[in-house]
Amino acid sequence: MQINWIYSEDVSCKLKTFFKKQGISRRLLAKVRYSDGKILINGKSGRKVDKIKKNDKITLVVPDEEFRRNVPPSFVPIKILYEDDNYLLVDKPAFVASIPSPLHPNDSLVNRVVGYYQIRGYRGIIPHIVTRLDRDTSGIVIFAKHRYAHALLDSQLKEHKISKTYTAILNGILHNNHYIIDLPIGRDSTSLIKRKVLFSEKAKRSKTEIFVKERIRDNTLCKIKLHTGRTHQIRVHCSYLGYPLVSDTLYGGTISMPLQRQALHCSEVVFWDQFSSQYIKVKSNISQDMMNYLK
């Protein structure tokens, strides 16, 4: 693939400084250097130490990526919510793992995206999963199509600049319309997978914002915005508040048919697309099982 920029600053700078500002990692530059890639300044071969000036055209030719053969394709259809040359956003069903594992080696969402790429005849493109969801959580998952796009979104993730909003159904009736939960989360020493609110140096700051949308029978339909991205964050905070997610038995919820998994769906993501210099906003309607439960 080829990435192009026009240098627009009045003050000249070294190419390596420019690349750093653009989010190009040393690792990616090493791949370019040692794997038949190219660095071009105005169409001519350039080096990291070269200086660039205003209106120079910089081109980075990144070699095709080699796909790991140990991830077999799955040809189960996927629901595409958004796609361009750099990103793919997919609507993940519940009960599908985000990534392959010993328990789910052949039909994770990554396997399905591999199959989709093969059907479409994409070459030199491998699925870089940027955001993940628990197996039993449905909704939007972001994939990058190349290393550079992945690095840009990873940087946004670390700085909490990717906005993620979830739709959830909670056991019980919340009395207020708005809650902010700013409590640290860490591992629960009694479990291999559980987390809990933990006031310890080992815990990490975690902030969740809850907006009540509707009170239905003995449940509350909420929009939940994450300000940090800890494992099980929404589930832990809602449980600590005393209103666990419907059917989230791990954190105190009760199974309520037809929902056989926690009532949680990633319904909106917003991120900055550096390639088009605009925000990308993608929405997803809640899954059918959650709709059926609310009827």
Alpha-carbon span 259 to 263, nearest angstrom: 7
pLDDT, block means (10 residues), the chain with 295 residues: 91 94 85 86 93 95 78 96 97 97 93 96 90 97 94 91 98 97 97 96 96 97 97 98 97 90 98 95 97 94
Supply the DSSP symbol for 203: S
The active-site residue out of 91, 134, 136, 289 is 134
CATH of 2-61, one of 3.40.1350, 3.40.50, 3.10.290, 2.30.30: 3.10.290
Q: Cβ contacts of residue 140 below 8 Å, gap of 6+?
A: 81, 89, 90, 91, 92, 131, 164, 266, 267, 268, 269, 282, 284
The answer to whether the 65-158 and 164-266 domains have the same CATH topology is yes
Residue (of 213, 233, 231) closest to 223 by Cα position? 213
> Which pLDDT score is estimated for 33?
83
Question: Do residues 15 and 135 touch, judged by C-beta distance below 8 A?
Answer: no
Structural domain spans, the chain:
2-61, 65-158, 164-266
pTM exceeds 0.85, yes or no: yes
> Which pLDDT score is estimated for 32?
86
Supply the DSSP symbol for 124: S
Q: Is 50 a catalytic residue?
A: no
> Which pLDDT score is estimated for 68?
67
Whether domain 65-158 has CATH 3.30.2350.10: the reply is yes
Give the domain 164-266 fold. Pseudouridine synthase (3.30.2350)
> Which pLDDT score is estimated for 70?
78
Alpha-carbon span 104 to 184, nearest angstrom: 31
Question: Do residues 211 and 221 touch, judged by C-beta distance below 8 A?
Answer: no
> Which pLDDT score is estimated for 237?
99
Alpha-carbon span 34 to 29, nearest angstrom: 9
Alpha-carbon span 141 to 132, nearest angstrom: 6
Q: Cβ contacts of residue 69 below 8 Å, gap of 6+?
A: none
Q: Cβ contacts of residue 207 below 8 Å, gap of 6+?
A: 180, 181, 182, 226, 227, 228
